[in-house]
């Protein structure tokens, strides 16, 4: 089953709900190594996107992602707004005006999103950032697609890898962002951006699975 604008909008709405549910947990993760505002910022940003989606008018997945990008950039504080905004903008560009997303296009937009975050944040795997969730997600998605997986299965593979990647940030010493100021004291704490990325990608898989 190909994914459409209906799925893209359902994904973003699910993101808003999930980030609201995990707001406090993300705040606590960020309190340990950051500004303690990641959960609040993400909740506010996606709530603003949902308000824009309620007005309608987005007829393709790319249009949904572009609206998401622009809204996050204008409403989310700190580094998260530019990083997630760039991710969704690159994803929108990768999809163009396509009405449906097949498995290869899923890999394409996930890769474009990850590359956008890298371009904006200059982080690499192992730096204890959201890239530690996104890179394994992209690699798992590519492997699944090459093995003949459906679009839903590709998203599920990406989500599972992203969560594993987020968990794997706990022992790392941060080399980018505010957490890097803590040096070795940043070890032992999960990166909040990696965790929010994992939640967002899990929402993508969950909503796609429900639409099968």
Closest CA to 95 of 9, 12, 199, 4: 4
- pLDDT, residue 47, reads 97
| Predicted pLDDT at 174 | 86
Q: What pTM value is reported for the model?
A: 0.95
pLDDT bucket at 86, cuts 50 / 70 / 90: very high
What domains can you pick out in the chain, each with its CATH number? 5-210 (1.25.40.340)
**Measured on CA atoms in the order 87, 89, 94, 97, is the torsion positive or negative?**
positive
Write the pLDDT tens digit of every residue in 165-212: 999 999 888 887 777 767 777 788 899 999 999 999 999 999 999 987
Quick one: pLDDT band at residue 82, thresholds 50, 70, 90? very high
For the chain, list the strands marked E by DSSP.
none
Distance from C-alpha of 7 to C-alpha of 205, rounded to nearest angstrom: 10
Q: pLDDT at position 175, please?
A: 82
> Which pLDDT belongs to residue 181?
67
Average pLDDT over residues 97-120: 97
Chain segment 113-128, per-residue pLDDT in tens: 999 999 999 999 999 9
Give the rounded percent of residues in the chain with a pLDDT score beyond 90.
81
CB atoms near residue 194 (< 10 Å): 26
pLDDT at 60 over 70: yes
For residues 207 and 170, give the distance between their C-alpha atoms in angstroms, rounded to a whole number.
Answer: 28
- The number of residues making up the chain comes to 212
Phi/psi region, residue 190 (left: phi>0; alpha: psi -120 to 50; beta: rest), is beta
């Amino acid at each position: 089953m190909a994914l459409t604008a209906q799925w893209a909008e359902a994904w973003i709405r699910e993101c808003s709900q999930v980030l609201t549910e995990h707001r406090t947990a993300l705040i606590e993760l960020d309190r340990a190594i950051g500004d303690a505002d990641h959960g609040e910022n993400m909740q506010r940003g996606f709530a603003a996107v949902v308000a824009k989606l309620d007005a309608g008018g987005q007829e393709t997945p790319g249009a949904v992602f572009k609206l998401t990008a622009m809204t996050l950039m204008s409403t989310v504080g700190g580094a998260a707004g530019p990083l997630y905004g760039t991710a969704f903008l690159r994803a929108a560009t990768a999809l163009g005006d396509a009405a449906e997303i097949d498995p290869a296009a899923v890999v394409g937009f996930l890769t474009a999103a990850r590359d956008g975050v890298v371009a904006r944040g200059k982080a690499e795997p192992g730096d204890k950032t959201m890239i530690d969730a996104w890179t394994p997600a992209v690699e798992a998605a590519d492997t699944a697609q090459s093995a003949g997986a459906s679009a839903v299965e590709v998203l599920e593979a990406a989500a599972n890898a992203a969560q594993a990647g987020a968990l794997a940030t706990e022992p790392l010493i941060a080399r980018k962002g505010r957490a890097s100021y803590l040096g070795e004291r940043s070890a032992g704490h999960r990166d909040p951006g990696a965790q929010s990325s994992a939640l967002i990608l899990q929402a993508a898989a969950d909503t796609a699975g429900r639409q099968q």
